[in-house]
Amino acid sequence: MPTNRPIILGICGSERAGGNTDLALEYTRTLVEQRGAEFRVIHLREHRISPCSPCGDCNYRTEPCGLRDDMPAVVEQMRQADGIIYAVPVHGFGPAHLMQVFIERAGVGYLRFQRPLANKVGGIVITSRRYSDSAVHSQLVDNLLLNRMILVGSGFPALLRNTAPQPALTDREGLDALDRMVHRMVDMVGLLRHHAQETGLPPLPVDDRNERTSRPARNSVPATEDEGAVAQSLA
Ligand SMILES: Cc1cc2nc3c(=O)[nH]c(=O)nc-3n(C[C@H](O)[C@H](O)[C@H](O)COP(=O)(O)O)c2cc1C
């Protein structure tokens, strides 16, 4: 059913139903819904998402990836969201494979053409025992910034540690960081929506060119109609 409430979408990269990452997202759901926004979750484990094939032509293709699986449906869910939270466990000092595969396929196969996530608000939560959680967080920061998403400073990164075999949200400091992140994300989504309602403009110009193509100087011809309109509104 269509909704006018802001949508925050969690993308879960854990294989384990009911594990630490799922618990973190259920905690997030409570916070988001308390703020009157809608929370949706995509569990990557429930979708058919193939790893990259040996074709190797993704950097040169001018159209989306040719593999047929659930990727287009997941990307469509991302397009509909105001804010997106990547939630992922650390496996072998890196992101668990579901998230790594997803990032590769989504990024190079779909998102790089028009950057449809530009100006959406991004968030990250990492679950782990403790080893390399910051490294995985940094990788996802790079990914969100590549997609021109807006990261809201909200205190410490949301790193949730649990060394017990049973899934549990016992890391108080990590939960506090998650709490702050979610509230600041919802605040920023509200600000961006308000701006759009008042001005009819995107909050920042949406540059739809791929990074690999050359870019004219900032003070030359506007790249897009949006960019021209924003430049005029600031003049
Ligand atoms: C295969 C595997 C590899 C792991 N590697 C790491 C690691 O490198 N660093 C770490 O801190 N925790 C590691 N862990 C622990 C998980 O990151 C941690 O238990 C996480 O909260 C699991 O999330 P989940 O309950 O959603 O599966 C690993 C767990 C598994 C199953």
Q: What is the pLDDT along the chain (235 residues), one digit of tens a residue?
A: 556 999 999 999 999 999 999 999 999 999 999 999 999 999 999 999 999 988 888 878 888 998 999 999 999 999 999 999 999 999 999 999 999 999 999 998 999 888 999 999 999 999 999 999 999 999 999 999 999 999 999 999 999 999 999 999 999 999 999 999 999 999 999 999 999 999 998 888 876 666 666 555 555 454 455 545 544 444 3
Task: Supply the range of the domain harboring residue 216.
Answer: 205-235
Same domain flag for 82 and 145 = yes
Same domain flag for 23 and 63 = yes
What is the tally of structural domains in the chain? 2
Terminal CA-to-CA distance of the chain, rounded, Å? 40
What is the pTM (predicted TM-score) of this model? 0.91
Domain-embedded: residue 1: no
Tokens of 100: 């790594």
Helix, strand, coil shares of the chain, percent, nearest 5, are: 40, 15, 45
58/36 Cα distance (integer angstroms)? 40
Same domain flag for 216 and 134 = no
Q: What is the CATH number of the domain that holds 126?
A: 3.40.50.360
Pairing of strands 94-95, 83-91: antiparallel
What is the CA(84)–ligand 1 centre distance, in A? Answer: 22
Residue whose CB lies within 8 A of the most ligand 1 atoms, among 15, 22, 90, 100, for a mutation test = 90
Same domain flag for 143 and 114 = yes
What pLDDT score does 231 carry?
A: 43
What pLDDT score does 230 carry?
A: 45
Same domain flag for 233 and 120 = no
